[in-house]
Amino acid sequence: MHKSWNIIDADLGKLREAGQFKPIRNLLAPMGPVSKIEGVGEVVVLCSNDYLGLANHPEVVAASVEASKKWGAGTGSVRFICGTFDYHRALEEKIAALSATDASTTYVSCWCANEAAIATLMTIGADSVVAISDELNHASIIDAIRLGRQINKNAKSAIYKHSDMAGLEAALKEHAACKMKLVITDGVFSMEGDIAKLDVIHRLCEEHGAMLIVDDSHGVGVCGPTGRGVAEHYGLHGKIDCMTGTLGKALGGAAGGYVASHKNLIELMYQKSRPQIFSNGLPPGSAAASTKAIEILLRDTSRVAKLRENVNYMREGLKKLGFEAMSGPSAITPIILGPTAKAIAASKRLLELGVFVIGFGYPVVPEGAARLRVQISAAHERAHLDRALEAFKKL
Ligand SMILES: Cc1ncc(COP(=O)(O)O)c(C=O)c1O
Query: Do strands 129-134 and 180-186 pair parallel, antiparallel, or not at all (unpaired)?
Result: parallel
Query: Do strands 257-261 and 242-246 pair parallel, antiparallel, or not at all (unpaired)?
Result: antiparallel
109 Cβ contact list (under 8 Å, min separation 6): 246, 248, 255, 256, 257
Compute how many other C-beta atoms are within 10 angstroms of the C-beta atom of residue 327. 13
- Look at residue 147 in the predicted model and tell me its pLDDT: 98
- Please tell me the number of Cα atoms within 13 Å of 30 on its side-chain side: 10
Helices (H) and strands (E) in the chain, counts: 16, 13
pTM equals: 0.97
- Across the chain, which has 395 residues, the per-10-residue mean pLDDT values are 93 89 91 96 97 97 98 94 94 98 98 98 96 97 98 98 98 98 98 96 98 98 98 98 98 96 98 97 98 98 97 96 88 92 91 95 86 97 98 96
- Look at residue 155 in the predicted model and tell me its pLDDT: 98
- Ligand 1: atom nearest CA of 255 is 10
- Look at residue 366 in the predicted model and tell me its pLDDT: 85
CA gap 216, 229 in Å, rounded = 7
> Torsion-angle region of residue 84: left (phi > 0), alpha (psi -120 to 50) or beta?
beta
Ligand 1 in reach of 109 Cβ (< 6 A):
yes
Ligand 1 in reach of 234 Cβ (< 6 A):
no
Positions annotated as catalytic residues are 190, 218, 249
- Look at residue 140 in the predicted model and tell me its pLDDT: 98
Ligand 1 in reach of 229 Cβ (< 6 A):
no
CA of 354 to the centre of ligand 1 (A): 27
CA of 41 to the centre of ligand 1 (A): 28
- Ligand 1: atom nearest CA of 247 is 10
CA of 300 to the centre of ligand 1 (A): 25
